[in-house]
Amino acid sequence: MIVSKAKLPMKTKSFAIASRRSPLAQAQTRQIQILLSDALGVGSEERDLVLPIETFVTAGDKNLSGSLAEIGGKGLFTKEIEEALLSGAARFAVHSMKDMPAQSPEGLVTAAIPPREDPSDCFLSFLARDPWELPENARIGAASVRRIAQILHRRPDLKPQTLRGNVGTRLEKLKDGEADATFLALAGLKRLGLAQEAVKIMPPEEMLPAVGQGALCIQAHADDKEALALAAKISCANSTLCVALERSFLAALDGSCRTPIAGLAVLDDGNVWFRGELLSLDGADRFCVERRFSLDTDDIKSVEECGLEAAQELRAKAGAEFMKKIQQL
């Protein structure tokens, strides 16, 4: 990855936004474009001029042959977009937060996290209305080790198989019979106007979502004070705190696409409820942790400390041998 400590070279006074080229990524970026243009006081007729969207095909979009764990992990969906920021070709980048590695490259920062969409997973199938009612040995199409481990924990008879591609591609593969069922993030379906495709919205008690699921990350160059100030206008304090807790939990577990980890923080009227879990790849082992506490201030450090403590508790529950095994995956 290109890394630079130099000041951001300004090629344009416009606020170009870098995005993946997939339909979902562009839908998400268009939402951010509208929020930023409203914050700037820019009308719809000037939006594409002041905040043009530049699209990129990432390594993760090109390589659809295996699971994310097999082909390199989360950074596959961010590298090319981050390089656009580092070179000055873009002022903002928009990512799905669940695709973000634990650390940004030097020179880049998370400028804002706008209000989070529903973080739930949803079940899609033509055979059953509920994953627990699927026929024995039904084929589950998924690319997420978390979802596979969670479903196998309750239904070890089900047969997982890799199902990758953008949302539309996965829906077509399901309709073509390449799998009997699959799971997608509800947030993605809603942003694409496809929420009606969900057969069942999975409650967190049945399928705890991925860390950061439903949240978007607006990334900018650390030296671009103008862009940082603009992004701050559309950031959501509650979403930022919840995501910070979840990502602290993930980082403390050395989480990657190779490790089935789930986590969800909910903040309501100053009260935080966090649930996290760690599983073996086959779902046979599952360890859970829960935290409830009152938050007196909007202090990122305090929620990150909670995430760290929750991860430490989960490590103790799982035991040294289990942790050693998953870290070797």
Q: Which is catalytic among the residues 61, 99, 121, 224? A: 99
- Cα distance between residue 233 and residue 211, in whole Å: 24
Strand partners of residue 141: 161, 182
User: Catalytic annotation on 99?
Assistant: yes
CA 233 and chain centroid, separation: 22
Q: Are 62 and 165 in contact (CB under 8 A)?
A: no
Enter the tokens of residue 322.
Answer: 């289990």
Q: Which of 214, 208, 142 is nearest to 178 (CA)?
A: 142
**The two three-digit tokens of residue 131, written as one number:** 């994953």
Strand partners, 108: 221
Q: Which residue has the tokens 């009612």?
A: 133
- State how far the Cα of 146 lies from the Cα of 158, in Å rounded to an integer: 15
E strand map for 190-299: 200-201, 216-221, 261-268, 271-279, 286-294
Determine the Cα–Cα distance for residues 170 and 163; give it in Å rounded to an integer.
Answer: 7
Distance CA 155, CA 159 (A): 9
Coil, strand or helix at 267:
strand
Burial class of residue 294 in the structure, from the number of CB atoms within 10 Å of its CB (0-12 exposed, 13-18 middle, 19+ buried): exposed
The residues annotated with a catalytic role in the active site are: 99
